[in-house]
Structure 1
Amino acid sequence: MTLATLQKWISPKLSIQGKMFVALGFLTLLSIVSVTSIVYVNMRDTIKRTAITSVSDSIRQADESLNVMLQEIDRLNTVAVTNKNTVIDTVLSPSEEISYEWFQEQKRITEYLSGLIDYKPYISRIAVIGLNGKVFFSGGPWIDRTFLETSTMDFMLRNGERHAYFKHLGTTEAISVGRVLRYDRETIGVVMVDLHYDFIRKTYGVKPTADSMLYVLDGQKQLVYKSDSAPASVTPGMEKAIYDAAELSSIEETAEQVIDGKPYIVVSRKSEYTGWTTRALIPLDSLLSESIRIRNLMVEVSVVVFIAVLFGSLQMSSRTTLHIRRLKTMMMRVKDGNLDFPRTEIESKDEIGDLYHVFIGMVDELKRLMEGIRTSEQAKREAELTALQAQIRPHFLYNSLNTIKYLAKLNGVPNIEEVSGALIELMRGVLGNSGELLTLREELDYVNSYVAIVKYKFIEPIPVQIQVENEDLLECRVPKLTLQPIVENALMHGFGPSGHGGFVLIRVFGEDGDLKIEVIDNGKGMSNESMVRLEESSEGTYSRFSGMGVRNVHERIHRLFGKPYGIKLYSEEGLYTKVELSFPGMGSGK
């Protein structure tokens, strides 16, 4: 019987409270019976998933623990291979055995290597093996120049930067982590650190179940570790299942396999750091032996749950319908347009309580929106008036400046006429152009207008020269008012009041598909400390005309184009200052 059929059957006969009680009771009984019927099948999957999760977590934790230790050892290797005075110079030293210089070098590098592995009990030995036959080590076992002829040395040289693998050193088992030693881009040897094999046993000594087996293979499919429960000898079928672990298509895989006629859950994981593969084999027969006990427990729990649900549904149906009726009354008042109705508090913590709070929030939000509409209409009228005033001000300013320019021309004062005209053009571009980007040609026009105004501040005008590598670059689009603050800093802070001998060059060129602009002056320059202070404090420093400081321009370029672009400062005190601005290559109209 479906839920729709049940509702149709009970609708004519019961109240809403009765309908809820009958429906909840019926659905609960149906659910419990269904669960009880299929629990035996489903609990097999649950047990398997739990086992897989437990094994996967154990393997992952062991793998991560080993990775952390190998990363620390790799850092030791890095420290060693980058130490020129103690390691590289000693390997390259022409001192011959046995001499006083050779003894001194051996003592110094041995003490250095001992200092690297002190307080690290998991390291058995650290060695520096030079291709010229020089061998230095701290720890054990003994190693000499015959190591150069081993496959281990060849493996380290071929794998280059970093690797980890299992190998036998005589009667001692260890994990070796090597790093190629280079000088002047030439390989001169290897730095190698060995781990005690007991660390591997402790790290991978996980035991998911009593009879489960765990194997660890290195990148060359050589056995690194196997659990104590693993058999001493394996059958061909078992061997194939173990060594197939090195053929994983992903980091972690789980599968069910039949090995020698017995079902197993096989969990495999490959380390991204070491390239090792760990495989756990869990027998299904022993894993599912608890299924009957779990099934009986589930039946007992189901009976208790059904009785509790019947009692709870009776209480809930009575309480829920009461709150529904209260909500209906409040909603009808809102429907009639009464937003200030008396509110009956519903304190239940279920969905009905949430619905009540959402409804009250909607009513309050509706009242707020209605008030906001009234406020926004008033603000709209005020904004229209402000916009009208803003349109009047620039036109009044342009007309006033044009009048000054006209009077200067009539009275034969060309410098006032020039300054007024330049100021008109500069302010027309700043106030009349509302866009954030404009062409480089327009930006250079603003710079020329600014230079025409400011040159009268100096006794001897400072020439500002513009060099453009390609006329097409002038159509590239750049943020408005990026060059003017830079030129202003060069003129105002780079030279004295006289400006004698001053010179400013603006160079525009393309580089690697990007637009580059350099502003170079031969002023007094800045010290390194001054440049650092400028970068740290210029956020609140403003240019006298534009109101935008060097850091402001830098951050605008960052915001528009990303961090590869922005401003770079180059200066030498008493010689020059160069400001380099970089933008992405953009064609005209972009």
Structure 2
Amino acid sequence: MKLATLRRWFSPQTTMQGKIFFAFGLITFLSIVSVTGIVYVNMRDTIKHNAVTSVSDSIRQADESLNIMLEEIDRLNTVVVTSKNTVIDTIMSPNEEISYEWFQEQKRITEFLSVLINYKPYISRVAVVGLNGKVFFTGGPWMDRTVLGTPMLNYMLQNGSRHAYFKPEGAADAITVGREIRYNRETVGIVMVDLDYEFIKKTYGVKPTADSLLYVLDEQNGYVYQSESAPSSFAPSLEKVVEIKRKLAGQGDVMEQKINGRSYIVVSRLSEYTGWSTLALIPLDSLLSESTRIRNLMAEVAIIVFIIILIGSHQVSSRTTLNIRRLRSMMMQVKDGNLSFPKTEIKTKDEIGQLYRVFVSMVDELKRLMEGIRNSEKKKREAELTALQAQIRPHFLYNSLNTIKYLAKLNGVPNIEEVSGSLIELMRGLLGNSNEFLTLQEELDYVFSYVSIVKYKYMEPIQVHTQIEDESLLGCKVLKLMLQPLVENAIMHGIGPSENGGQVLIRVYAEDQDVLIEVIDNGKGMEQEQMDALLGSLDREDAASRFSSMGIRNAHERIVRMFGEPYGLSLHSEPGLYTKVEIRFPKIHHAETSAQEVV
């Protein structure tokens, strides 16, 4: 039975489950073999790189930790050298041993130094040495005036203007950080703080392998720290370490070096704060001794992973095939038009589960869209009814205005008859004409209908004149309601506020293939700032104080949007004399002609 199953899976005409299982197995085998081979070939370089990175980080952290300690000690030295009453005055005091005044001074400065030595646990001694022979200290070891003239004190005097670091040759108990004490621009003494060497050993106790070596050299190429656990037969001499340091100065921070017949990876770091150089020597044979064990471990892991993936691929192929069949069944029902079929839930989170959820969402969206189509059809029928009702309303309004006009005529009120008649003509053009273009003659008729209405608002008569240079221009097509708002603005904001009777001139003429219309009023005019604000920023609300949003802004934007540049409106005015709005648009003979079909 098992043989028959395997033959069915691996036959040329296999099932989907067999194809998935075979593909997973083949891909997994090739992937594991490729990855294992690549990892094994590059393992040596990877181990070396990781070791270098780890040691570099460890050296950097150790160097930064030591720098922090030294910075703290430098701050303590600064406190001492700036303490005039306690330190400088005591050094400069003429009191000699043994006197009561000298005893009081010693007590005061010793208490001061005791406070400083308790500041950090890595400080083993704080001492103040005067060049006049006075020595004060707290901690250990003992210090007296015999320190004068020693190499350490001479080094401090030569290099301690800011701070100096000194480690006696062969000493392994402390590193001394010193600084000059100056008074009246003269050196009067030295303050010295000893850093406990145990803290340095803990700080630099970083070793990637048991036989790695670590050295810290000062600026004079003397040992500040060196590994203690290295076998003497492998440890290089100081001269060899200094030579390696000089080589690294020209080659970089990492190099391979053969020392005493043994290959090492050398990693170095130069401290910008102290000037000390840290060198870590990692033996290559110890570092790479783990490569064989890692290789065997990778082979074992690869075999285990391959077996697990084969088992998993069998389960996945089985479950995936089952879910595909379920999904296919649901799709066939949708194909037959059944959108309310019972859904067999697929809970997996793989691609089949995602496809199932997308399919269900698609079916739900399809049901929603079909319901939306039904609602849209219903709303469409309601909108058609509303549109039919809206067509009735203008007719009712026209009939009502005609009734008012008839009653005004019967009662002998000609002004009401004129206003209602003009309003009928104006509204018939606005509501009854849906065309975007009108003839210039029709636009002028709307203008005069508007003037017939608005003239009763003012005491003085409003005179609107037209000057048509070519009567054929009256047949040109213009944008609907392009001229009437400009005349409205001229009347309301130009000549309306004036006490004298105002006049509005509408001048129409042709220029090349363009039509120009000028609307001129003899009103109060505008300042240049008002015109700049109006023409330069048509969307500003303060510009609308002279011309409303239905005036220049609306007309200009419609013309530019329809015909493009350089068509549109321009403004000219003289305060107290006149205002002229000039309209430029192409000459068009047919309403259905597009904006580009210019004669």
Specify the structure having the higher radius of gyration (Cα). 2
Q: TM-score, normalised by structure 1?
A: 0.49
